[in-house]
Amino acid sequence: MASINLIDAFQDFKDAENLDRPTMMKVVEDVFKTLLRKKYGSDENFDVIVNAEKGDLEIIRRRMIVEDGEVNDPLAEIAYTEAVKIEPDFEVGEELYQEVDMLDFGRRAILAAKQTLASRIGDLKKNVLFKKYADRIGDIINAEVYQVWKKEVLLLDDEGNELILPKSEQIPQDYFKKGESTRAVVARVDTKNNTPVIILSRTSPLFLAKLLEIEVPEIFDGLIAIKKIVREPGERAKVAVESYDDRIDPVGACVGMKGSRIHGIVRELKNENIDVINYTTNVQLLIQRSLTPAKISYMNLDNDRKQADVYLKPDQVSLAIGRRGVNIKLACELTGYEIDVFREDEEQTNEFDIDLDEFSDEIDTWIIDEFKRVGCDTGRSVLKLTPEELERRTDLEKETIADVIKIIKEEFSKEA
């Protein structure tokens, strides 16, 4: 039949194993019934038979054989004289089944039907792809790097579907090569020009949560719950965990023997430091744990303002703040409290000191604020640290630090 060679769109139909076959067959049937309505005005006496395996179809026309001159509805009835021309054995009262030749529709109508069919199948594939990944948001997938661009990376899943990993969702230390396999979490599914765009992420806390779930059976089984994760991708992450079984140490289970469980995750996240802490409803204890690896001497809490003033020994201040202030920033996000770090006076002395705000006429306010951010709120607290240490802990230039030290030393000399 001519229709077999004319419907190229069936190749898509045969290859689309992941599509719902009954739905696909309904789409094909609808397309050709529309074609029948355009030609005959109705599709009531036509059967569209779709062969999904072979990728072809048949259109059968049904008409009742009536006496000559008694044809009232040409679509549903055929005169006896016309019927016997098709098959001599026909009799009045029988139903005539006749195959419709696709060429009878005309070349333009066939071409339009093919285009409509291909379009409908394409839309169906898009809907299936959208639903598939919308249901997988938060899941980790393995995908092959297909193309690396400046602002994003194009990956392909096992079925050849295109996935996007934007630069903003990549760990700063990530480096991708075409053909290699990488893991990421499905972050969201957007729609662009009526086409689903699957966005992946390696910076989302969900990615770390799923990696922990894979590596730690107790999390997968529900014996340990991840209460909260905060991350500075590629730098540091803090994970608060809680055990529902008193016999299980949640931190020990997550880290594993000699760090065996956490090491694989650290490598996946490009050597991101991961602090796993015991979750507690005791705010003071949670803040203390969240500032790991620093050890707190004491703190003052203001629960109404969600404010915590934390006091540490001088050698613990830099640990609490962390490189570029990452540790204290993550502690604030994890606990929901605004944490300020102060140096504890180990020995109560009468040593004269000057508040940094007193230097505001000689030192810019933003520079003073930067020193305060790392726990240096007095002149002597600045002088106790070396220029190299100050440069490492603050975002200030070497020359700026040298100028500040000079101003403070001169002031102390005057006072002396």
111-144 tens-digit pLDDT: 777 777 777 777 778 888 888 899 999 999 999 9
Amino acid in position 402: A
Q: Where are the domains of the chain?
A: 2-132, 136-201, 282-344, 356-415
- Which of the following CATH numbers is that of domain 282-344: 3.40.50.300, 3.50.50.60, 3.30.300.20, 3.30.530.20? 3.30.300.20
Beta strands across the sheet bearing 338-343: 298-302, 307-312, 338-343
What's the token pair of residue 308?
A: 């915590």
Greater confidence, 92 or 184? 184
What's the token pair of residue 279?
A: 């979750």
Amino acid in position 312: L
349-363 tens-digit pLDDT: 445 677 788 788 788
How much is the mean pLDDT over the chain?
84
Reported in sequence order, the residue ranges of 12-73 that DSSP labels E, i.e. its strands, are: 46-51, 56-66
pLDDT at residue 386, rounded to an integer: 87
pLDDT at residue 63, rounded to an integer: 84
Task: Give 64's pLDDT tier (boundaries 50, 70, 90).
Answer: confident
Amino acid in position 149: W
φ/ψ (deg, to 5) at 33: -70, -35
For the cut 50, the answer to whether the pLDDT of residue 5 exceeds it is no
Q: List the end-to-end C-alpha distance of the chain, in Å, as a whole number.
A: 109
For the cut 90, the answer to whether the pLDDT of residue 332 exceeds it is yes
φ/ψ (deg, to 5) at 199: -100, 125
10-31 tens-digit pLDDT: 555 555 545 566 766 777 778 7
Task: Give 376's pLDDT tier (boundaries 50, 70, 90).
Answer: confident
For the cut 90, the answer to whether the pLDDT of residue 8 exceeds it is no
**Same fold? 2-132, 136-201:** no
| Topology of the domain covering 2-132 | N Utilization Substance Protein A; Chain:P; domain 4 (3.30.1480)
pTM of the predicted protein model = 0.64
Task: Give 379's pLDDT tier (boundaries 50, 70, 90).
Answer: confident
φ/ψ (deg, to 5) at 322: 80, 170
Greater confidence, 359 or 252? 252
**What percent of the chain stands above pLDDT 90?**
39
For the cut 50, the answer to whether the pLDDT of residue 7 exceeds it is no
Distance CA 28, CA 291 (A): 63
Pick from 207, 271, 194, 268: which is nearest to 239 by CA?
Answer: 207
Residue 308 forms beta bridges with which residues?
301, 339
Listed range (53-67, 84-98, 154-168, 263-277) with the worst mean pLDDT: 53-67
Greater confidence, 342 or 35? 342
Task: Give 233's pLDDT tier (boundaries 50, 70, 90).
Answer: very high
294-327 tens-digit pLDDT: 888 888 888 889 999 999 888 888 888 888 889 9
- Which of the following CATH numbers is that of domain 136-201: 3.40.50.620, 2.40.50.140, 3.30.390.10, 3.30.365.10? 2.40.50.140
For the cut 80, the answer to whether the pLDDT of residue 272 exceeds it is yes
Residue 86 contacts residue 100 (beta carbons within 8 Å): no
Distance CA 166, CA 59 (A): 49
